[in-house]
Amino acid sequence: MQPLVPPTPQYAWPLLAERAGTQVWVKHENHSPIGAFKVRGGITYMDWLKRAHPEVEGVITATRGNHGQSIALAARRAGLSATILVPHGNSAEKNRAMESFGAELVVHGRDFDEAKAYAGQVAAERGLHFVPSFDAQLVKGVATYALELYRAVPDLAAVYAPIGMGSGICGLIAARDLLGLKTEIVGVVAAAAPAVALSFEAGRPVPTNSARTFADGMACREPHAAAIEIIAKGAARIVRVEEDEIAEAIRLYWTATHNVAEGAGAAPLAALLKERRRMAGKRVGLILSGGNIDTDVLATVLEGRTPAT
């Protein structure tokens, strides 16, 4: 992983602790080379792909942004072409970032799940290797941030992590179990995109018809079965946070730490504030999974409003 992705810092911010009523350690994955934790999974996946399938010349995937940046960067590093499918209305700034890493951007569908379905079709037509949004290799890669956090702060009572397709929280669970820790893993989803929460409660994937949240990193309607199996066994609970709560957490990160958090990155803080009484006096970790938020969206939030979806 190093030197391309040096260990990211984890800081205990006093103003966050004051607001939350507990000691808070923030894992700053917004400080990675793409501004999000996903880069770790992309590098690991491409290293595996070059060894297992040396005949592959190009890859394709679907994303709302951070996974796509990861795959684009890692593919270029591996000497492969990358085609990235995004839905209409996707983050303009994330789109430009993916293209800056050399990816061909294709816009299709009303949301991530429709873009993903079309990516599979294009993969078959062009003979490209389809990179899923959840895979054991991706989990192995992103689990490195969990290992860094646990080693730096070994006595965490709980860690709150956002859930999109699930690689981040599954990496946290895997690393915790391998280290034999008792840390609770608390998943966080947007109330407007509750598929993972519904699936956790049912013990099986439960798709939804919509995932209309401005926190695009959590905008999932069709959960991955393997991810749900791991989360169901290893997570303590799933907390749903409202759009206004996510926006408030973004503002708090800015005023308390001067870090920019995208919606999914701020959601764990929103969940901790929601569970303030439950976690009082405990030592808690928060995964600030990324800081890739469009300027106009951030401006809306910092003005005290909640972005429309």
Which among 291, 264, 282, 292 has a CA at the least distance from the CA of 25? 282
Query: Are 245 and 234 within 8 A, CB to CB?
Result: no
Out of 71, 97, 130, a domain closes at 130
Shared domain check, 117 and 153:
no
Question: Which residues on adjacent β-strands are paired with residue 107?
Answer: 86
What pLDDT was estimated at residue 2?
63
Question: Rounded mean pLDDT of 110-135?
Answer: 96
CA distance 15 to 246: 18
Please check the confidence at residue 210 and state whether its pLDDT lies above 90.
no
Kindly report the pTM of this predicted structure.
Answer: 0.96
Q: In which domain, by residue range, is 69 found? A: 39-130
Model pLDDT, residue 3: 74
- Of 80, 113, 130, which closes a domain? 130
The tens digit of pLDDT for each residue in 39-94 reads 999 999 999 999 999 999 999 999 999 999 999 999 999 999 999 999 999 999 99
Q: How many domains does the chain have?
A: 2
Q: Do residues 121 and 259 share a domain? A: no
Q: Do 76 and 186 fall into the same domain?
A: no
- Report pLDDT for 4: 82
Mean pLDDT of the chain: 96
Q: Are residues 230 and 257 in the same domain?
A: yes
pLDDT category of residue 309 using cuts at 50, 70 and 90 = confident
**Residue 4 belongs to a domain:** no
Range list of β-strands (E), the chain: 10-12, 23-28, 58-62, 81-86, 104-107, 129-130, 158-162, 184-190, 237-241, 283-288
* Residues comprising the chain, all counted: 309
Domain boundary among 130, 161, 195: 130
Residue 1 has pLDDT above 70, yes or no: no
Is 2 a domain residue?
A: no
